[in-house]
Structure 1
Amino acid sequence: MIRPALAALCLCLGTAAFAHAAQPELDIKLEPYRKSIAVHATVAGQPGFFGFDSAGGISLVSPQLAQKAGLQPWGMLSGYSMTRNRFDIPQLEGLPVTLGGRSWTPRGLGVMDVAPLYAKDNTLPIDGNLALDLFEGKVVTLDVPHMHLYVESPDSLRERVAGAIEVPMRVAREWQGRTLSVSLGVKSPKGLVWFELDSGNGGVVLVSKPFASLFNLDPAKEGPQKVRLELAPGYTLESEMGMTPDMIIDGNVGMILLRQAVVTLDLANSRAWIKPVPPAQP
């Protein structure tokens, strides 16, 4: 017979054993691709390897993958990159994207060869780019230091943001509501300046010329400069790779931030949190 005290001890030990961290809805493994990140996914039954571009706005498949899947793109989507380059691409609608063992159906897909966007001489196979539009209405966490993308559950979200720093965030929608991207508000002497969060940006901090002086940057200077961004009280991002190109957005920050912090994005309620990751010990 188990005595009451021993039974209570066993119960406590059993409870502790099962008191593990709350589980997210989905855990998607990220992989490196050039200076950015990528995932394996299936579009309309056709498997492929896709860049994950948090600033892409709309998920894209290559013409080659669309042809293999027997798809017939139609219509036209027209827009501009942040550096004023115009894109006119056909679209697809109602197609499932299977990622992390779950099927997602975005509002639309664009059809475009994205390989030259990574490098003019890109010889590494890539079947398109996936973007935040897949996760409309969800909370996602980009944990690039540990190479995971999480779709959070209510319980895992509470644990994820405990001790994190909340930062201003805006959701941007273009192409008549088809796209979804986010920008983070950065404090300046004049007010908030909005920096697009761009996992496709492998290693620079971009500040549009009209905003450059607010961050002690010379808009006329070619080449990198030291830049300092106060994302929130208690968290400042510093980099030697600040650039001041001619852009149609305020600014853009990508892997320089994502390599040193876990970033959680509530796409339904326009909230964001940053949790710095301690530097690896030598």
Structure 2
Amino acid sequence: MISVTYADALASVATTIQLEPYMGSTLTMRAEVNGHEGLFQFDTGGGESIISSDFAKTIGCTPWGRVTGFRMTGERLDFQRCDDLQFKTAGAILKAPTVGVLDIMGMLPKGAPHLDGSLGLDIFAGRTITFDESGKTLTIESVDSFKDRIRNAKEVPIRLVRDAEGVALTVDVAVPTSHGMAWMEMDSGNGGGVLVIAKYLADQFHLDPNKKDPQSTKFEIAGGIPVEGQAITLDLIKDGNIGARFFRKWVLTVDLASGRAWLLRRACPADSTHQASQRLACQTPA
């Protein structure tokens, strides 16, 4: 039975947002602001949604003030902001009290296709959503769709993290170690194919913190969800980062009001019409 808290986080009708592949490793979504459509990376680990200075000018915003955030390596980012924006997509209106103004193209490889910004979980605050990376969909759940969605899913413990004075929103998932619980960011924007582990936890994952090349590791998210693959160790300000490779096999449903989450393993496609790369990603350990 769904509690009042869940009901408050659920829409009356489910809305599915179609996502588009970007540079073969991450996904984007289209949204309209003040009558102008933009193309934005969708990034569960982005924290605060951002738009470019050019897009801010297009929609009639004059950036002001300052927002300060930190990347997982501790690098400080200072940027201006636009307030009270509404992103319209697939019939849904997503309200953003504060959006950063930062030129994302300067953070991407030279020659990367144009983006107008990056949208994170902050614009879905208070809602229940499902991210299906392989299916290229992002669903705002209704009461009925939520019941169906979690019927066969496994609940996992998470923390909702609100950095940048409460503006940002990300999800950390629990990972048991021999010394206690580690908390790793779930980051669809990390399309590099490797897990990232803090150097101070390297021994807990049988990794050499002095090696620069990727190393094999295997562990479980609390609840028995397996994670396996290549990992690098870095000097981080958080325990670790689980990236897009994991989401190719697991569908994430998260209640951003109550702070609960569920994972459902995606079935490997048997249809020969599926691209070989999709089948390989499904069959390869997360």
Instruction: Please indicate the TM-score interval, normalised by the length of the shorter structure.
Output: 0.7 to 0.9
Any unmatched runs of 5+ in structure 1?
Answer: 1-22
| Structure index of larger Rg | 1
2:206 paired with 1:216: yes
Deviations 1:168-193 (A, max 9, x none): 10000112111111111111111211
Q: Secondary structure at the match of 2:45?
A: coil
Aligned equivalent of 1:33: 22
Q: Which residue of 1 aligns with 2:182?
A: 193
1:77 to 43, 67, 70: 67
Q: Which amino acid aligns with 2:241?
A: N
Residue identity in the other structure for 2:227: L
State how far apart, in whole Å, the 2-side matches of 1:148 and 1:24 are.
16
Residue in 2 that maps onto 1:154: 143
Shift of 1:24: 5.3
Q: How far does the alpha carbon of each residue in 1:204-223 deviate from its partner, in whole angstroms, 9 at most, with x for none? A: 11000001110111111111
Structure-2 change in CA distance of 1:162 and 1:74 (3 Å): same
- Match of 1:179, SS state, is coil
* Residues 166, 232 of structure 1: 8 Å contact kept: no
| Letter paired with 2:71 | S
Offset, 1:154? 1.6
Q: Deviation at 1:118?
A: 3.3
Query: % of aligned pairs identical?
Result: 37
Report the AA paired with residue 44 of structure 2.
S
The Cα of 1:235 is off from its aligned counterpart by 2.3
C-alpha RMSD over aligned residues: 1.4
| Structure 2 residue 48 is the aligned partner of structure 1 residue 63 | no
- Residues 20-169 of structure 1 correspond to what in structure 2 (within 5 A)? 25-34=14-23, 35-119=25-109, 121-169=110-158
Aligned position for 1:11:
none
TM-score, with structure 1 as normaliser = 0.88
- In structure 2, the CA distance between the partners of 1:122 and 1:172, relative to structure 1 (3 Å rule), is farther
Q: Residue type matched to 1:186 in 2?
A: V
Distance 1:37 1:24, change over 3 A: farther
User: How many angstroms apart in 1 are the aligned matches of 2:107 and 2:263?
Assistant: 28
Distance 2:221 2:188 in 1: 17
Q: 2:41·2:117 contact (CA, 8 Å) conserved in 1?
A: yes
Number of equivalent positions? 258
Q: In 2, distance between residues paired with 1:127 and 1:28?
A: 18
Say whether 1:206 aligns with 2:196: yes
Distance in 2 of aligned mates of 1:79 and 1:234: 33
Match of 1:255 in 2: 244
On the 8 A contact 2:189/2:243 being kept in 1, the answer is yes
Query: Following superposition, which runs of at least 4 residues in structure 1 exceed 4 angstroms of deviation?
Result: none
Task: Tell me what 1:176 maps to.
Answer: 165
Offset at 1:229?
2.4
Mapped partners of 1:262, 1:144: distance in 2: 7
How far apart, in 2, do the equivalents of 1:220 and 1:24 lie?
A: 51
